[in-house]
Amino acid sequence: MTRFTVSVKIVPRHGLLDPQGKAVTDALHALGFASVRDVHVGRLLVIELEAADTEAAQAKVREMCERLLANPVTEDFVIAEIATA
């Protein structure tokens, strides 16, 4: 077994209400950053786990996201990085 560190980004689904993202967008506009079109506030999870290989680590983390870490109705997730620890 190899130890992996996996980064997962979880963000609200596009088109759903994101009050934190709206507040950040408005604040950036107030500070003069008029080019900002939208901000999505989400979570970054860093998971350390053991798996036989990269594909197995990705499959385990995908299952974790689908079963617990991300709400399938309101959130999307992306496995951003997989590295050996």
Local confidence band at 85 (pLDDT 50, 70, 90 cut-offs):
confident
* Any domain includes 47: yes
pTM listed for this prediction: 0.86
Q: Which of 48, 19, 47, 22 is nearest to 36 (CA)?
A: 22
Instruction: Say how far apart CA 51 and CA 22 lie, in whole Å.
Output: 39
Q: What is the CATH number of the domain that holds 61?
A: 3.30.1280.10
Place of tokens 């860093």: 46
* Any domain includes 22: no
Instruction: Say how far apart CA 85 and CA 83 lie, in whole Å.
Output: 6
Instruction: Say how far apart CA 43 and CA 8 lie, in whole Å.
Output: 8
Q: Is the pLDDT of residue 38 over 90?
A: yes
Range of the domain at 78: 2-15+41-84
pLDDT tens string 70-84:
999 999 999 999 999
Local confidence band at 42 (pLDDT 50, 70, 90 cut-offs):
very high
pLDDT tens string 3-15:
999 999 999 998 8
